[in-house]
Chain A
Amino acid sequence: MESGCTEKKHAMEMEKQRKPGSCDVVKSMCSPAVTGTKQRDPQRLYTANLAKRESHRKRGKDTWTAKSRELSGQNVHSLNSKSIAANKSLCKNPVENCYQPQPEKTFSAEEARQVMKTVVEERLRNAEYDGNACSALALELADCVKHAVKDLLFFERYKIICFVVLGPVKQSDLCCCSRSVWCPSADTYAEYCFKNNSLFALCVLYAVYSE
């Protein structure tokens, strides 16, 4: 009995030291003369062990992946497939942007001029120049013209600037000049100059498209 145990221990030690490629060495180690047991095909043993190791490795990976999915609460495969499908659909049917760099309806300077003329003449028809009151009058006129153009002529996405110069009719010169950097196809201006015996009023309205 003791000799059988010793031989088995020796065989186990030999198996541990066995190198996978060296079949001849394994064969010699596992010869019936050394082990005293039935002759085992070392190549089959090695292949079987290798297969076991591979299956353990794969199973462990699958188990880990499944666990990670459960923990994260996401189905990674389904997310990837959804995003891929979304990208594909985008490439086939690109979504147009919703910018409007040009207005659908361009601001009409002529219509604005008509409105300005009506408002200014109605307001200043019988007005007389007064140094103290005319500053408030100029501000009121600018507000009135701006509101009239904004509310009566509704042009979408247009910003409106109303500028008024008011002064007495005397022997003095006034020169007014204006320049702008804007988009000439969308932006424009309208002006109207009013004069009576007492005062003059220059009203300029700029319409700038909001890009």
Chain B
Amino acid sequence: MMPYLYLKVSFNADEASNSVKECIESILGGVDYNQNKVNQWTASIVEHSLTQLVKQGKPFKYIVNCAVMQKSGAGLHTANSCYWDTTTDGNCTVRWENRTMYCVVCVFAVAVTL
């Protein structure tokens, strides 16, 4: 494994986005919205995404946020504002939908420089 202690690594949003998409697809792929299971789904999506991100072995602290909403014609708006080091930290947002629900996952990665 590369020694990242003395290297400034920037966040790779594409790689994180692909990992998160695979997690969402594996949990929500082919299912319809179910109010009883949505808590369990969001928790699974977030935990699986975190596991995949940590497996990459990069020196980051991760925060993963997932919002699942039933499709009923209503809109949904998400926004984020960050105060950090733009050269090393980053985020990525993944939007996914199927016939019955929307899913928005946000990943924030904050570099650990020690």
Write the residues of chain A forming the contact surface with B, with a CB cutoff of 8 angstroms: 99, 101, 131, 134-135, 137-139, 141-143, 145-146, 150, 159-168, 170-183, 187, 204, 206, 208, 210-211
Tell me, in angstroms, the Cα distance from A210 to B108 when the chains sit together: 14
Nearest CB in chain A: distance from B23 CB, A: 12
The segment out of B2-10, B11-19, B24-32, B81-89 that lies at the interface is B81-89
Tell me, in angstroms, the Cα distance from A171 to B89 when the chains sit together: 37
If A166-B77, A211-B113 touch, whether A175 touches B63 (CB-CB below 8 Å) is: no
What mask results when residues 41 to 70 of chain B are scored 1 for a CB within 8 Å of chain A, else 0? 111011100100110000001111111111
Inter-chain contact B66/A176, CB cutoff 8 Å = yes
Inter-chain contact A167/B69, CB cutoff 8 Å = yes
Inter-chain contact A160/B69, CB cutoff 8 Å = no
Write the residues of chain B forming the contact surface with A, with a CB cutoff of 8 angstroms: 33, 35, 38-39, 41-43, 45-47, 50, 53-54, 61-85, 89, 91, 106, 108, 110, 112-114
With a cutoff of 8 Å between Cβ atoms, the chain B residues found around residue A164 in the complex are 77-80
Cross-interface CB contact of A175 among B39, B50, B112, cutoff 8 Å: B39
Inter-chain contact B68/A181, CB cutoff 8 Å = no
Residue in A145, A150, A173, A175 whose Cβ sees the most chain B Cβ within 10 Å: A175
Nearest CB in chain B: distance from A190 CB, A: 13
Tell me, in angstroms, the Cα distance from A178 to B67 when the chains sit together: 9
Nearest CB in chain B: distance from A107 CB, A: 12
Can you show 14 pairs from A to B with CB atoms below 8 A apart?
A134-B75, A141-B79, A142-B81, A143-B81, A146-B81, A162-B82, A164-B80, A167-B76, A172-B71, A173-B38, A173-B70, A183-B61, A210-B85, A211-B113
Residue in B35, B47, B65 whose Cβ sees the most chain A Cβ within 10 Å: B65
* The 8 A-B residue pairs with the shortest CB-CB distance in the complex, in nearest-first order: A177-B42, A142-B81, A138-B79, A172-B72, A159-B84, A146-B81, A180-B63, A139-B79
Nearest CB in chain B: distance from A142 CB, A: 4
With a cutoff of 8 Å between Cβ atoms, the chain B residues found around residue A183 in the complex are 61
Nearest CB in chain A: distance from B45 CB, A: 8
With a cutoff of 8 Å between Cβ atoms, the chain A residues found around residue B53 in the complex are 181
